[in-house]
Amino acid sequence: MKYLVVLALVLALSSALITVPIRKPQENTLQKLLRVNSLKGNIQALLNKLFPSNMVSSWPEVKINNYMDAQYFGEVSIGTPAQTFTVIFDTGSSNLWVPSSECGLLSVACQLHKKYNAKKSKTYQKNGTEFSIKYGSGSVAGHWSEDTVSLAGLEATGVLFGEATTLNGVSFLASKFDGILGMAFSAISIDHIPPVFQVLMTEGKVSDGSFSFFLTDKAGEEGSALVLGGVDPQFAASDFKYYPVTLEAWWVIAVSKVTLGNKTYQLTNSIVDTGTSVLVGPKAIVSDMVKSLPNKGAQAVDCSTISKFPNLTFTIGGDDYVLAPTDYILQVTAQGQTECVLGIQGMDLPSPIDNAFILGDSFIHKFYTHFDMANKRVGFALAKHD
């Protein structure tokens, strides 16, 4: 069992970092093959993450993310005494949900994961309002409950979270995470529920109202970190540069252009999303840009040709952020064989976030990312990998 690390920086209480180990279980062959196959064709799963059907009505009804491809999991505790769950920390959504002990026996996926038991928590408060979230490869349904939520030792009280009583879809059968902890803004929260990090801010548990993600650059390595309350200088190989959030919903920033080799395309926005593994851009742009690649735009890549691929550059506020081909081509080994997959996918988003790229984990691997909720900005520094 591999271990990653979640770090919590509690500026209001101490200058020291609080570390909590989180598991990154080894994938078996089936899980690896499912992940590769979903990268090749499961665009609908990406489309269904950012905009669930029961989101606040003022936002378009689409949604992005492929949770089966998410690599980084951490622990969150709910209730008193604490019940611990493995979750994806997702900056592309805003709600927390975990499986419920009320799951029916016919919900096989639910039975394979840890389940919250309200009867065992002294701080549980009933809510009961029903919710449902549809994903491209499945769905989650249940009801809201209220309880204390603890993240890296920081307690948020009276948090409304989802008790999932139904989990449908093969992705949930094969996944190693129990649930999702959204870290975007409250504007996209289903039923207007305050996100966990916002509750921590309101209760004064994190003084500067920000968090940051450092992701190791190779699957299976230890050392990935979520830092609550600021940034940890040990993860940065350069100074941070900051860009204002242009839409307080997802973490949206202005990106002027993307360049692949000698082709340049004008952009408007980008969404910085830890819950998406790959880079996702407008269909027309992605379709045209990948035609010039050595693999002629195919999703599969001959691993021996990676060095022949060009750099991919995003221009943000006049600053260039360069990804090498090893950054945007995913390599997955199963049954002793390595398969390479192009980590760039095409998808059109509606206004007001059309003409946008989603900067997922392959970007955050390269650049240590600071999500500053209090000051409505996102910062990037070159990640310091040994």
What residue type is assigned to position 367 of the chain?
F
Q: What is the DSSP string of 241-275?
A: EEEEEEEETTEEEE--EEEETTEEEE--EEEE-TT
Q: Which candidate in 69, 147, 178, 273 is catalytic?
A: 273
Q: What number of other Cβ atoms are within 10 A of residue 352's Cβ? A: 14
Catalytic residue flag (residue 239): no
Q: Identify the burial level of 127 via C-beta atoms within 10 angstroms of its C-beta, where 0-12 means exposed, 13-18 middle and 19 or more buried.
A: middle
Cα dihedral 65→69→70→72 (10° resolution)? -170
R_g of the chain computed on alpha carbons: 20
Spatial distance between the Cα atoms of 118 and 14, rounded to a whole number of angstroms? 33
| Start-to-end C-alpha separation, the chain | 22
Phi/psi-derived region of residue 169, left when phi > 0, alpha when psi is between -120 and 50, beta in every other case: left
Catalytic residue flag (residue 354): no
Spatial distance between the Cα atoms of 176 and 189, rounded to a whole number of angstroms? 24
Q: Which candidate in 90, 147, 178, 361 is catalytic?
A: 90
Catalytic residue numbers read 90, 273
